[in-house]
Amino acid sequence: MANLEIIKSIARPTPSKIVLLVIDGLGGLPHPKTGETELETADTPNLDRLAAQGVCGLLDPVGPGITPGSAPGHLALFGYDPVTFNVGRGVLEAVGVDFPLQLGDVAARGNFCTVDGAGLVTDRRAARISTEKNAELCQLLDGQVIDGITIFVRPVKEYRFIIVFRGDKLSPEVSDSDPQQTGVASRAHVALKPGAKATARIANKFVAQARTTLAGHAPANMILTRGFSQRPHWPTMSEIYQLKPAVIASYPMYRGLARLVGMAVLDTGTGVKDGLATLTKHYNDYDFFFLHFKGADAAGEDGDFERRVRVIEEIDNSLLALINLEPDVIVVTGDHSTPAVLKGHSWHPVPVLLYSKWCRRDQVTEFSESACLHGGLGRLPATEIMPLAMANALKLTKFGA
């Protein structure tokens, strides 16, 4: 965290504005037939113009060869070393649905699932029940007190929900019950450290009661849990950067991550145009905006090259609304790569462009993996993009005499 300490010591508030646009899973790999990646295939006149007027490069979210999850990928972009700043899945989901997590609470992610008569998991997602059905079932499980610990259960989306344990001496060092495969039974929770035995016992009792409560509710007749974790004590972006930051994201997890680093959460819709309308509406109220679009990552996970291309084109198409606001600094990048040919996150570095009046332009005239390789930012850790954005917004004073 040495670097954050330096930034903290030289950051100052100014009226200048920074927009960090994250196209989730932006980096790709070439289509076998054309030899061009999704971003290279897409027609992106606005991104290309920003690239031409700005400076480009390639970011390593965690390090060469490391495929990041969504949390490390984003934390790095916010300037938080993703190895030092670790957050569990349960906390991420809980803050993502605005659950008021208290210090000491233990949060876990839950799935409704289907089990057969022998108790073996047949569907880890309970036939993707509706969010409405999910909410009904959560009410059945919510509010129990087991061994003095209160347990909150809240729906997230479809088959996903959160469990929050509240009370004295809870520990997050508890194993998952989710076996991550079908045809086997859910696992008993095990204490991963001696101090976690009580929490594991309570979690096992909770799962046992849920099995009884849900018996008649197939396909959602059982639950699977994972990612037991506690809310971390982190410095906020306001403390580090002297910024007034806000997030515009339609997916709960990204709002939750942003909340963990102290961003205000703005209401927005699910479309790209909704995001830009929200930005425009609140543009005068904040000086840093994290604008998140999920579609390119989802298409990559589905292995859908063409849809990734279309999503990128749709974002490019809406960019004038951002450009016309004339932020002092625009950064466009991704939190990791999600090449359609790999159908999942990957380790490949992510294209980045930084546009500002004070950047030192390079020769790049196209926003693409191959062009960014020759950009003026070079290849750098994703944690460096915030210091660069801050510098280009003239929000950092000199370091040292």
User: Which residues contact a copy of itself (rule: CB under 8 A)?
Assistant: 2-3, 6-7, 10, 29-30, 37, 58, 62-72, 82-83, 86-89, 92, 227, 342, 344-348, 358, 360-363, 369-370, 373-374, 376-380, 384, 386-392, 396-401
Residue 291, classed as helix, strand or coil, is strand
Q: Specify the residue, 2 or 103, whose C-beta has the smaller distance to a copy of itself.
A: 2
* Measured distance CA(164)–CA(177) in Å, rounded: 15
Could you tell me which residues are beta bridge partners of residue 174? 191
Nearest alpha-carbon partner for 84 in 94, 96, 75: 75
- Distance of closest approach, residue 23 Cβ to a copy of itself, in angstroms: 17
Distance of alpha carbon 65 from alpha carbon 88, whole angstroms = 22
Measured from the CB atom, is 87 or 149 closer to a copy of itself? Answer: 87
CB-nearer residue toward a copy of itself: 27 or 295: 27
CB of 122 to a copy of itself, least distance (A): 25
Q: How far is the CB of 124 from a copy of itself (least distance, A)?
A: 17
CA neighbours within 13 Å on the CB side: how many for 132?
0
b/e 57-88 (16+ beta carbons within 10 angstroms → b): bbbbbbeeeebbbbbbbbbbbbbbbbeebebb
Largest pairwise CA distance in the chain: 73
Q: Smallest distance from the beta carbon of 39 to a copy of itself, in angstroms?
A: 12
| Cis peptide bond prior to 219, omega within 30° of 0 | yes
If the CB atoms of residues 27 and 275 are measured against a copy of itself, the closer one turns out to be 27
- In the complex, least distance from residue 380 CB atom to a copy of itself, rounded to whole angstroms: 6
Q: Which residues pair with 144 in a beta bridge?
A: 151
Q: Which residues contact 65 (CB under 8 A, 6 or more apart)?
A: 347
Q: 111 or 221, CB closer to a copy of itself? A: 111
Task: Give least dist CB 379 to a copy of itself, A.
Answer: 4
Eight-state DSSP code of residue 395: -
- Least CB distance from residue 250 to a copy of itself, whole Å? 19
Query: Which residue number, 287 or 319, has a Cβ lying nearer to a copy of itself?
Result: 287
Least separation in angstroms between CB 325 and a copy of itself = 23
Tell me whether residue 179 or residue 376 sits nearer to a copy of itself (CB atom).
Answer: 376
Nearest to 102 by CA among 231, 255, 226: 231
Q: Which residue, 67 or 175, is less far from a copy of itself as judged by CB?
A: 67
Extended beta strands in 116-197, E state: 121-123, 144-146, 149-157, 160-166
Nearer to a copy of itself, 14 or 213 (CB): 14
Is residue 180 classed exposed, middle or buried when 0-12, 13-18 and 19+ CB atoms within 10 A define those classes? exposed
Helices (H), 97-151: 131-141
Distance between CA 385 and CA 263 in Å, rounded?
17
Positive or negative, the CA dihedral 188, 194, 199, 202 is positive
Angle, alpha carbons 272-96-385 (nearest 5°) = 65
Kindly state the smallest distance separating residue 131's Cβ from a copy of itself, in Å. Answer: 21
